[in-house]
Amino acid sequence: MKLLVTGGCGFIGTNFIRLMLASHPDWSILNLDKLTYAGNRLNLLDLEENEPRYEFVRGDICNRELVMDLLGGKRIDAVVNFAAESHVDRSINDPSPFVATNVAGAQNLMECARQCGTGRFVHVSTDEVYGTLGPSGKFTETTPLAPNSPYSASKAGADLMARAYFETYRFPVLITRCSNNYGPYQFPEKLIPLMYLNAKADKGLPVYGDGLNVRDWIYVDDHCRGVELTLTKGREGQAYNFGGNAEETNISVVRTLLSIVGKPESLITHVTDRPGHDKRYAMDFSLAAEELGFAPTLPFDQGLAQTIAWYEANTTWLEQVQSGEYRTFMDSWYGERA
């Protein structure tokens, strides 16, 4: 099978491409990525240099001509769309790029795939489309969409477009909705790598509000397996929830992280809460368990220790993705077909 993976230079896309090429000798992957601040081509440089089943193209999923060209000319069998603007705080500062990529870009990809008669299309979405939970209960696939941030609203917009493409055109789209991922290659604007960096530098750890917001953490490889199962076994037109069965308050995550890196809890600094901050996420993934055989494999404490060990061993990666020099280098490396 030849897959078009979009956003493959980001956190989850990188892990997905590595895992899929390692576990499917008969799969090849074309990675289309715009290389925004969150995309790092060097993540997969070893594959670019040594793996004939991997190919990279820099470009924008909103670019209709380019996407038509790739889907038409490269004999693609299926698409997995990870490309997105992904950070809630950035969406609060400026929602526009979120609408452009997450809604219009996703629709452009679906439309091009429909016109080219490409096979299955997995649209990677998020639990955040459901909004927020009270102290009890979990999100199921029939929970109404009620997004609270510009990020989650843009993801919900694409989910609804995907639904409409299935109902209207019988376009073979499937949706995955997963909870908070953690693991190698996560950009240090998200909770775990940001807190790790600050702790290492003995800087304050900015916990929003009281720190009692709850997220359901899943190790990134478990999410990638969920996407793989959806692609290979899922029902077209269906959305599937994925979660880690690991509900944790933010303050508890930060405390555990501090204990792993051997830094004092006095570094914790409570800061002004995020506007519209969702209180609690928790996923009921029984549909994916029953239909796809999905189960998360890594307990949170073990996954967190493994993740911190990866950051410890990859400090140059962290330095690289934060540096302006790196950005300039990426922009001059190859031209953008955007």
CA distances to 85, 138, 159, 272, 295 from 175, rounded to whole Å, are 17, 18, 7, 34, 17
> Which among 86, 156, 135 is positioned nearest to 247, based on CA atoms?
135
Residue 249 is encoded by which pair of tokens? 């308050």
Q: How near is the Cβ of 202 to ligand NAD at its closest, in Å?
A: 26
Q: Which of residues 36-95 bind ligand TYD (CB under 6 A)?
A: 88
- Beta-strand ranges (E) seen in the chain are 2-6, 28-33, 54-58, 78-81, 121-126, 173-178, 181-182, 205-208, 214-216, 218-219, 239-242, 247-249, 268-271
If one asks whether residue 183 binds ligand NAD (CB under 6 A), the answer comes out as: no
Q: Which residue is nearest to ligand NAD (CB)?
A: 10
Q: How near is the Cβ of 171 to ligand NAD at its closest, in Å?
A: 18
Residue written as tokens 């609804």?
A: 160
| From 127, 222, 248, 278, active-site residue | 127
Report how far residue 220's alpha carbon sits from residue 128's, in angstroms, rounded to the nearest whole number: 17
Q: Which of residues 264-283 bind ligand NAD (CB under 6 A)?
A: none
3-state SS class at 240: strand
Residue 207 is encoded by which pair of tokens? 């916990």
If one asks whether residue 166 binds ligand NAD (CB under 6 A), the answer comes out as: no
85 is known as an active-site residue: no
- Give which of ligand NAD, ligand TYD, none residue 7 binds (C-beta under 5 to 8 Å, depending on kind): ligand NAD
> Which among 295, 243, 257, 329 is positioned nearest to 35, based on CA atoms?
329
Per-residue binding string, ligand TYD, 219-258, x by CB under 6 A, is -------------------------------x--------
312 is known as an active-site residue: no
- Which listed residue (194, 267, 289, 318) binds ligand TYD by CB under 6 A? 194
Which residues, in sequence order, are CB contacts of 69 under 8 Å at separation 6+? Answer: none
Which residues, in sequence order, are CB contacts of 328 under 8 Å at separation 6+? Answer: none
If one asks whether residue 244 binds ligand NAD (CB under 6 A), the answer comes out as: no
Per-residue binding string, ligand NAD, 57-76, x by CB under 6 A, is ---xxx--------------
Q: Which of residues 117-136 bind ligand NAD (CB under 6 A)?
A: 124, 126
Residue 144 is encoded by which pair of tokens? 């109404």
State the DSSP H helix or E strand holding residue 338, giving kind and residue range, or none if neither.
none
Q: How near is the Cβ of 227 to ligand NAD at its closest, in Å?
A: 9
Report how far residue 256's alpha carbon sits from residue 252's, in angstroms, rounded to the nearest whole number: 6
273 is known as an active-site residue: no
Per-residue binding string, ligand TYD, 153-182, x by CB under 6 A, is ---------------------------x--
If one asks whether residue 34 binds ligand TYD (CB under 6 A), the answer comes out as: no
Name the residue nearer to ligand NAD (CB basis): 18 or 34.
34
Active site residues: 127-128, 151
Binding residues vs ligand TYD (CB under 6 A): 88, 180, 190-191, 194, 206-208, 213, 215, 250, 274
Binding residues vs ligand NAD (CB under 6 A): 6-7, 9-13, 32-36, 38-39, 60-62, 82-86, 101, 105, 124, 126, 155, 178, 180-181, 187
